[in-house]
Structure 1
Amino acid sequence: MTPSYFKFDPATRRLSLDARDPAFYRNPNAGYAAMHAGSPTFWWEEQNQWYFAGYDNVNALLRDRRFGRQITHVMSREELGWQPPQPHLADFDRAESKSLLSLEPPEHTRLRTLVNRAFVSRHIERLRPEITALCHKLIDGFEKDGGTDLLDTFAEVIPVTIIASMIGVPLDMSQQLLDWSHDYVRMYMFGKTEEDEHRANKAAREFADYVIGLAAERRAEPRDDLLSLMLQPARDGQYLTEEELVSTTIVLLNAGHEATVHQIGNAVNLILNSGLDPKSLFADSAATERTIEECFRISAPVHIFKRWALEDLEFDGISLKKGDEVGMILAAANLDPRKFPDPLEFKPSRDEGANLSFGAGIHFCIGAPLARLEMQIALPILFERLPTMRIAKPAVVKDVYHFHGLERLELEW
C-alpha cells in the first residue's frame, strides 16, 4: 500500500514528499518501497533536485568520477549562482573547508592517505579487548536495574569512548564531544533553521579551538594515539596543515560515533522486534557478521549522500549540467527488490551482495572497519549478558532526516 504522504507522478517522475512528516521519518522503509514501485529515479520537488534510489544507479554514481563531492574546484560561486559566504557560518565553513567528506583528488587522496594509516583493519582489530571490556563494564552498571534506556547507557557511550581514545581525547570530554557533534551535524539535515546554523557554527568554533590546543600538547609530548600520528609526516615528508588537522579530526570524531550510535539502537530494536532467536543470530563469528550486515542493510543510520555533476552528462536518461547537484538514497538502494528479494524482510541468511550503507568508491567510509568491529562485539555481548531482554516501550525515533536513529530505546529484563 502506498503511504498517504507519497505523491508521485509517473509521467514526469516527480515526487512530493515532506521529509519532516513523522509518518515518513519514523518508518522511511515504507516510503522507499513506494519509490521502487513508482520510479527509483525521480525529481524530489521539496528538495528541488534529482534523486536516485536504485541499487545499481547509486552504486554506479558513488564510483563515477564525472560526479564529485566538491564543485568549487571546477566552478566559481558566481557561476553556480551562490550567495557570498554567510558571516554567521564562517567557523563552520572553515572547519568544512578541508573535510575528507567534501574534497576531491588530489587533495582528498593526500589527506586520506595520511589518515588511513590508523584505520587499516590490523590496527582496528587491536581495539577488540578495549571494546569488549567497555561493553561488559557498561552492562555491569545497569544489569541489576532490570531495565535501561539503551541509547543513554550503552549505544552512545561505546562509539564516542572508542573514537576519543583512538584520537587521544580525554575520556572526560566525551559528553562535550557528543554535544558538539549533535549541534554540528544539524547542518547536514533537511529543514535546518537559522538557529541550527548558529549552533553548528558555535560548535565548529569551539571544536576547532579544542583540537588546536590538544594538538599543541601532542607536539610537545607525543603519545600512541591518532592525533600524534596525524602530526607526523607521511613517507613523502608531507604534513597536515592546521586547517586540515582541524577538519580531519572533527570529521573523524563526528563520523566515528554518530552513525554507530544510531546503528546500535536500530539493530537492537530490529532484532528484538524480529522474533528471531538472538542465540542463532550470534551463534559464531560468521553468523554474527551476516546479522550485522543485514542490520546495516535494512536499518542504515545515514540515508543520503550528494554529488555534484563535474561536467555536462546524461545519467539514467536524465540530462545534467555541470554544477547540478544530485542525491543518492543509500538506505533506499539497500531495499531495491531487484537486488534484494523481499527487501523489507530482515533475513540475516542473505547472500545477495554488499549493502551500500558505507558508500562506495574513493569516498567509501574510512571508519567502516571500526563500525563493523564495534557492532560485532557489542551486540553479541549485550544479548548474551541479557538473554531475557525485551522492549519495554515502543522505540522513539529521532525527529531528523536524513540520519535515522532512535531518541530512546527502553528495555527491560
Structure 2
Amino acid sequence: MTDLSFLSIDKASRRVSLDGRNPAFYSDPNRVYAALHAECPTFYWVEQKQWFVTGYDTVNALLRDRRFGRQILHIATREELGMPEPADHTRHFDAAEAHSLLELEPPEHTRLRTLVNRAFVSRHVEKMKPEIEELANRLIDAFEKDGKTELLSSFADIIPVTMIARMIGIPEDMGPQLLKWSHDYVGMYMFKRTRADEDAANRSAKEFAEYVRGMIAERRANPQDDLLSHMIHTEHKGQYLTEDELISTTIVLLNAGHEATVHQIGNSVRVILESGLSPAEMFRDEKATERTVEETLRICAPVHIFQRYCLEPAEIDGVSFKRGDKVSMILAAANLDPEKFTEPLTFRPERDEAPNLSFGAGIHFCIGAPLARLELNIVLPLLFQRLPGMRITAPLRVKDVYHFHGLEQLDLAW
C-alpha cells in the first residue's frame, strides 16, 4: 500500500493540502497525481492558494484557450487586480523576463516567435544530427574506459547547452557559466523560494543580460551565420527586435534550450534502467526509439507546471474564474490520466496512445521541442549501445526544484 499520509484531499470542496517541498512528494510525484486523478482532478491547492487542473482533456483545452494567457497587465492595471508593485531586489530578473517568449501574448508573442521559429523547425534542426552524434560520442569516449561516470555532469549537462549555444552563436567555452546562470535563474520557479534564491537569480540575470548585450554589439558589427545575427538583422512587418527583446529572447532560449533536456536525459536513463526491460529492444530501430523517447517524456516529464491568468470570466470543469485569477496546469499529471492511458504509472516503451503534453500545446507550445526530441532520439540509443550493462550505483535523489523534475546526480557503472 502506498503511503500518502502527507496528502490531504477533500473531495467535496475540491481542496487539497500538500507541501510541495516535501521530499516524499517531489521525489515521486506520479503517485500523488494518480491519487488526484482518482479523487479530484481539478482542485484548489491550499498551500499555493490557486486552482490546478490535471485531467488530460482539461489541460489540453486550457493550453489552447484564448480566454487565458501568460500575462495580464496588457489588459488590466496592477491596481485593478490588487497586485503588488514589483520588488526592487528582483528588478534585473524582471527586466530579463519582460520580453520573454514564455511570458508574452499576441501580438508581441507572434512577432517574436515568427522571428525565432525558423531556426527551430524540424528540417533546420535535423541538420544538427551529425554534430550531436559527434559530441555525444566524444563525451562517452572520455569516460567509457573508466567503467563508471556521474552522467549528469559528464554528459547530460554538456550536450544541450553546447548545441543551443552553437545555434545562437555563443562560444562553447561559455557552457559552464551559462549553466550557473541558468540554475540560479530557475530558482525563481521553486515553491517557497527564499530571499537568497531571489538575490542569486537577480544577480545572475544581470550578469547574463550584460553578457548577451556584449554579444549583440559584436554581432551587429560582424554578423555570422547564427540565430543571434538572424534575430538582430531580420525584420518582421517593418520592425526589428529591440535590444531588450533580443536579450530576453536569447536568455529564454538558452535556459529553456537546455535546462529541461538535461533533466530529461537523466530521467530517461533512470526510468529505462529501473524498468528492467531490454534497451536493445527499445532502440532496435528509429520507430521503436521514437516511441521509447515519447514514453519517457510522458512518464517522467522534466517540467510539471504551466500557469495562466484568466483574461475574461470563464468556467473550467465547474470552477468559475474571474479576470486576473490564476490557474495552473500540471502537464506531468495530464500525461498520467487513466482516461487516456492504460496503466498510466507503468513505463511501456511500445505505448501508442494519446500524445504526451510535456511540451505544452497552443501558441506557447515549446519552440525547442524539435531540438529536444532530436537530442533525446540520438543520445539515449547511443548511451545504451556504447555502454551495455549500465547500472545505477548510488541512491538517487530528486532535486528540490519542483516544478522542474530532475535528479541531483546519476552515478552509473558498466
Q: TM-score, normalised by structure 1?
A: 0.99
1:220-299 pair list within 5 angstroms: 220-234=221-235, 236-299=237-300
Number of equivalenced pairs: 413
Give a deviation string over 1:327-384, Cα, whole Å, max 9, x none: 1000000000001110000011111120000000000000000000000000011000
Alpha-carbon deviation of 1:394? 2.5
Say if 2:90 and 2:202, in contact at 8 Å, map to a contact too.
yes
Give a deviation string over 1:133-183, Cα, whole Å, max 9, x none: 000000000001110000010010100111011111111110000000000
| Match in the other structure for 1:165 | 166
| Match in the other structure for 1:78 | 79
Give the distance between the partners of 1:45 and 1:269, measured in 2 at CA.
32
Stretches of structure 1 that go unaligned for 5 or more consecutive residues are: none
| Match in the other structure for 2:183 | 182
SS at match of 2:408: strand
| Match in the other structure for 1:199 | 200
| Match in the other structure for 2:56 | 55
Which amino acid in the other structure matches residue 145 of structure 2? K
SS at match of 2:328: strand
SS at match of 1:314: strand
Give the distance between the partners of 2:379 and 2:349, measured in 1 at CA.
17
| Match in the other structure for 2:396 | 395
Give the distance between the partners of 2:259 and 2:98, measured in 1 at CA.
20
Say if 1:99 and 1:248, in contact at 8 Å, map to a contact too.
yes
Give the distance between the partners of 1:334 and 1:278, measured in 2 at CA.
23
Say if 1:98 and 1:243, in contact at 8 Å, map to a contact too.
yes
Which amino acid in the other structure matches residue 182 of structure 1? H
SS at match of 1:127: helix
Say if 1:131 and 1:158, in contact at 8 Å, map to a contact too.
yes
Alpha-carbon deviation of 1:232? 1.3
- What stretches of structure 1 move > 4 A for 4+ residues in a row? none
| Match in the other structure for 2:12 | 11
| Match in the other structure for 1:137 | 138
Alpha-carbon deviation of 1:235? 5.2
| Match in the other structure for 1:339 | 340
Give a deviation string over 1:95-136, Cα, whole Å, max 9, x none: 111000000000000000011011111110010000000000
| Match in the other structure for 2:350 | 349
| Match in the other structure for 2:304 | 303
Say if 1:2 and 1:34, in contact at 8 Å, map to a contact too.
no
Give the distance between the partners of 1:389 and 1:122, measured in 2 at CA.
33
Range with greater deviation from structure 2 (162-171 or 256-265): 162-171
| Match in the other structure for 1:122 | 123
Give the distance between the partners of 1:257 and 1:143, measured in 2 at CA.
24
Alpha-carbon deviation of 1:14? 0.3
Give the distance between the partners of 1:263 and 1:318, measured in 2 at CA.
33
Give the distance between the partners of 1:353 and 1:15, measured in 2 at CA.
27
Alpha-carbon deviation of 1:396? 1.9
Give the distance between the partners of 1:2 and 1:42, measured in 2 at CA.
21
SS at match of 1:308: strand
Which amino acid in the other structure matches residue 206 of structure 1? E
Give the distance between the partners of 1:271 and 1:314, measured in 2 at CA.
40
Give the distance between the partners of 1:238 and 1:276, measured in 2 at CA.
53
Which amino acid in the other structure matches residue 86 of structure 2? P
| Match in the other structure for 2:386 | 385
Give the distance between the partners of 2:314 and 2:59, measured in 1 at CA.
16
Say if 2:235 and 2:241, in contact at 8 Å, map to a contact too.
no
Give the distance between the partners of 1:37 and 1:85, measured in 2 at CA.
39
| Match in the other structure for 2:329 | 328
Alpha-carbon deviation of 1:238? 2.0
Which amino acid in the other structure matches residue 177 of structure 2? Q
Say if 2:71 and 2:309, in contact at 8 Å, map to a contact too.
yes
Query: For the aligned residues, what is the CA RMSD?
Result: 0.8
Which amino acid in the other structure matches residue 169 of structure 2? G
| Match in the other structure for 1:46 | 47
Give the distance between the partners of 1:82 and 1:195, measured in 2 at CA.
23
Range with greater deviation from structure 2 (229-238 or 400-409): 229-238
SS at match of 1:117: helix
1:96-107 pair list within 5 angstroms: 96-107=97-108
Give the distance between the partners of 1:64 and 1:121, measured in 2 at CA.
26
Identity %: 67
Give a deviation string over 1:274-332, Cα, whole Å, max 9, x none: 01100010000000000000000000000000000001121111111110000100000
Alpha-carbon deviation of 1:234? 2.9
Range with greater deviation from structure 2 (272-281 or 394-403): 394-403
Range with greater deviation from structure 2 (229-238 or 34-43): 229-238
Give the distance between the partners of 2:145 and 2:280, measured in 1 at CA.
22
| Match in the other structure for 2:214 | 213
Range with greater deviation from structure 2 (249-258 or 388-397): 388-397
Give a deviation string over 1:35-68, Cα, whole Å, max 9, x none: 1111100000000011000101000000000000
Stretches of structure 2 that go unaligned for 5 or more consecutive residues are: none
Give the distance between the partners of 1:404 and 1:301, measured in 2 at CA.
5
Give a deviation string over 1:240-290, Cα, whole Å, max 9, x none: 101100000000000000000000000000000001100010000000000
Alpha-carbon deviation of 1:2? 5.8
SS at match of 2:216: helix
Alpha-carbon deviation of 1:237? 3.2
